[in-house]
Amino acid sequence: MSAIRTPQTSSREGDLAAATPGRAERALALGLSLLSLVTFALAAPFSRYPLPRIEAFVPAYESTLSISDLIAAVILFAHFGRNKSVAVLILACAYLFNALIAVPHMLSFPGVFSATGLLAARPQTTSWLYVFWHAGFALYALAFAGLRRTAPALRVRDARRSLWAAFLANAIGVGALTLLATAGR
């Protein structure tokens, strides 16, 4: 993936990844964050009461999550196809990674498809896949934020080759992490 630098523009029409939030957007984000915190504080006392076990919850939840992450990845990959920004490619990869790793996590979940989970799951497999899932997304997000700050004009020459490399790297990475969580014990 060869990269080129293009002159930095302050605002390109339709380039959401390069858009700087205004005062209203920052206020809205702060308000929603505070609302989320208040909701959490109000709901926290109820956490000591166990909910009934619903066998279909995990597959339904993770399938929905995987599909929504895949939709976000496709939108970001399409955006990357237009502007060839390395930062947008990294963000698209974050959502693709999430969509892919949710599948082995769901398959290994104990009690969903079998008593111990599929994929030759060990007692800690699902927990490790959960850690890889959330740490992986966080690392991608940090890479995106760092790149947007330090090299916002970094572009690739060949978007098609970069897309295929991103798909392949994510598939191999998720496969390797799944093997590590299962066979690696």
Instruction: Say if strands 154-156 and 3-5 run parallel, antiparallel, or are unpaired.
Output: antiparallel
What's the confidence (pLDDT) of residue 121? 74
Burial of 165 (0-12, 13-18, 19+ CB in 10 A): middle
Return the number of other C-beta atoms located less than 10 Å from residue 94's C-beta: 24
Residue 154, token pair as written in the block:
């970094």
What's the confidence (pLDDT) of residue 14? 57
What's the confidence (pLDDT) of residue 109? 82
Residue ranges of E strands in the chain: 3-5, 154-156
Q: Where are the alpha helices (DSSP H) in 84-120?
A: 86-108
pLDDT in tens, the chain (185 residues): 455 544 444 445 556 666 778 899 999 999 999 999 999 999 999 988 888 878 788 888 889 999 999 999 999 999 998 888 899 999 999 999 999 999 998 888 887 777 777 777 777 888 899 999 999 999 999 999 998 888 878 888 888 899 999 999 999 999 999 999 888 66
What's the confidence (pLDDT) of residue 137? 94
Whether pTM > 0.95 for this model: the answer is no
Given a contact cutoff of 8 angstroms between Cβ atoms, the answer to whether 62 and 106 are in contact is yes
What's the distance, CA 29 to chain centroid? Answer: 20
What's the confidence (pLDDT) of residue 15? 63
What's the confidence (pLDDT) of residue 13? 53
11-42 b/e (C-beta count within 10 Å ≥ 16 → b): eeeeeebbeeeeeeeeeeeeeeeeeeeeeeee
- What distance in Å separates the CA atoms of residue 29 and residue 128, rounded to the nearest whole number? 31
